[in-house]
Amino acid sequence: MNTEEDPENKRKHIVMLGAGFAGLEFCKAMKDVPVRVTLIDRQNYHLFQPLLYQVATAGLAAPEIARAVRAIFTEYPNVTTLMDEVTSVDLRSREVHCKEHTLTYDYLVIGLGVKTGYFGHDEWAKDAPGLKTLDDAMAIRRNVLLAFERAEMCEDPEEKRRLMNIVVVGGGPTGVEMAGSFAELSRRVLKKDFRRTDTAEAHIYLVEAAPRLLGMFDEKLSEYTRRHLEKMGVTVKLNSPVKRVEDDVVEFGDETVRAANVIWAAGIKAPELTSKLGVETDRAGRIKVNQDLSIPGHPEVFVAGDIAACIDAKGRNVPGLCPAAMQMGRHAAKVIANEVEREILLQPQPKEREAFSYFDKGSMATIGRSAAVASSMGLKFTGFIAWLMWLFVHLMFLVGFRNKLAVLLQWFYAYIHYQRGARIITGLEKIEKLPVKL
């Protein structure tokens, strides 16, 4: 790994932490820049996170929303992929420490993303798993499908109800998408296949602390979403902050529900690494950045994606969304490429770097079969039109030709037949003891 000491190689070395949307866009934008880029991720794949809920709800297979990072950068000879886990960054000595290696850098871009946050209640994590990784999604899929199988074998009506209760905490896009998808799963997909159990009696709760769902959207869209979810059979609980999660008991508002499956889609938290950098972070641990996305005092270190607490050139808080992460990755690449090229050409560096300006193309969330909400450039869309927009946008962004076609095919088939292609319970052998709740 001592390539940086290789006298043959005088190119600047850039370390990109994280192969999420920011990392991918950054590396792609550096394609023709005379630098060496090392892309580090603890997984070997890039994950298309916006569709992760589809894996959790048995709609898609894991490989359909993930692609090997190496395969993405086959044609990028200046990009080297390293599968390793970053343990700390020493900003002074410009070193990145991973579990297996230590690398030095000329420029560093931190794009590590965020984890599920429990608002100071990390003890809830074991009973209310979040949805951030493929393993999370497959664990949720396993536990939900298993709960229905157990319900089918169960003769005690109360226990049966508990097994079929699903509580989704958090009324943002992920929570809405999951609740809608679970409602369809129980009311449409599974209903015809169980003999002793009416799976349509499953209670899907969507619990939100705020007075409305999808807080970042217009109130009309929030209201449309609530009504549509309720029509689908979801029990929407607004103004209901969660007070306790313990084993299979969830307390929210004035209610206490026992549920075999509690899923947390409510908060985010930056990885611990950020607290050890010695730089300013916000309450969620996200790194506060300058307008050019660099860390104050460290012009050679950039932060991009969800892990950045960024106020852009127009004074807006940049949201934790894919398009924002992609734009930030490209912005960091542009600034670095400009400096590197000027240095090579012996041109003077500009006095001030360009500030990042977020281009808000709009937001969208899907609710269920042929219903979604979208807002873009001041326009609002609901229902089938919004759903088609959602479908189109997500397919366009899916990395890799194969995935696009395979996913489209699955969706089309599922749409016609109310089927789910990934209704399999895997990983049973690895579980020494099944979760207490099941």
Smallest separation, CB 384 to its own copies (Å) = 23
Backbone angles phi, psi at 103, to 5 degrees: -120, 145
Helices 21-29 and 322-344 sit at what angle, rounded to 10 degrees?
30
Task: Please name the residue that has the structure tokens 């020494």.
Answer: 432
Smallest separation, CB 220 to its own copies (Å) = 37
What is the rounded distance in angstroms from the CA atom of residue 219 to the CA atom of residue 432? 46
Contact (Cβ atoms closer than 8 angstroms) between residue 261 and residue 144: yes
Radius of gyration, CA atoms only, the chain? 23
What is the rounded distance in angstroms from the CA atom of residue 52 to the CA atom of residue 398? 12
The catalytic residues are 177
Smallest separation, CB 429 to its own copies (Å) = 5
Nearer to its own copies, 363 or 419 (CB): 419
Task: Please name the residue that has the structure tokens 């807080």.
Answer: 215
What is the rounded distance in angstroms from the CA atom of residue 342 to the CA atom of residue 189? 59
Nearer to its own copies, 87 or 133 (CB): 133
Nearer to its own copies, 385 or 424 (CB): 424
Contact footprint for its own copies (CB under 8 A):
1, 42-45, 61-64, 66-68, 70-71, 73-74, 80-84, 100-101, 133-135, 138, 145-146, 149, 152-153, 155, 190, 192-196, 401-403, 405-406, 409-410, 413, 419, 421-430
Smallest separation, CB 235 to its own copies (Å) = 25
CA dihedral 158, 159, 161, 163 (to 10 degrees): 170
CA angle 27, 30, 33 (to 5 degrees): 155
Nearer to its own copies, 67 or 286 (CB): 67
What is the rounded distance in angstroms from the CA atom of residue 170 to the CA atom of residue 253? 13
Q: How many CB atoms lie within 10 A of CB 319?
A: 15
The SS3 call for residue 58 is coil
The pairing of beta strand 45-47 with beta strand 294-295: unpaired
**Which two tokens mark 65?**
């929303």
What is the rounded distance in angstroms from the CA atom of residue 301 to the CA atom of residue 84? 20
383, containing H or E segment: helix 383-397
Smallest separation, CB 42 to its own copies (Å) = 8
CA–CA distance from 88 to each of 14, 94, 257 (Å)? 16, 11, 41
Contact (Cβ atoms closer than 8 angstroms) between residue 86 and residue 95: no
Contact (Cβ atoms closer than 8 angstroms) between residue 265 and residue 130: yes
Contact (Cβ atoms closer than 8 angstroms) between residue 64 and residue 37: no
Backbone angles phi, psi at 376, to 5 degrees: -155, 130
Nearer to its own copies, 361 or 417 (CB): 417
Smallest separation, CB 311 to its own copies (Å) = 34
Smallest separation, CB 341 to its own copies (Å) = 23
Nearer to its own copies, 92 or 192 (CB): 192
Smallest separation, CB 336 to its own copies (Å) = 21
The SS3 call for residue 132 is coil
What is the rounded distance in angstroms from the CA atom of residue 169 to the CA atom of residue 166? 10
Smallest separation, CB 30 to its own copies (Å) = 15
Nearer to its own copies, 122 or 255 (CB): 122
What is the rounded distance in angstroms from the CA atom of residue 238 to the CA atom of residue 401? 40
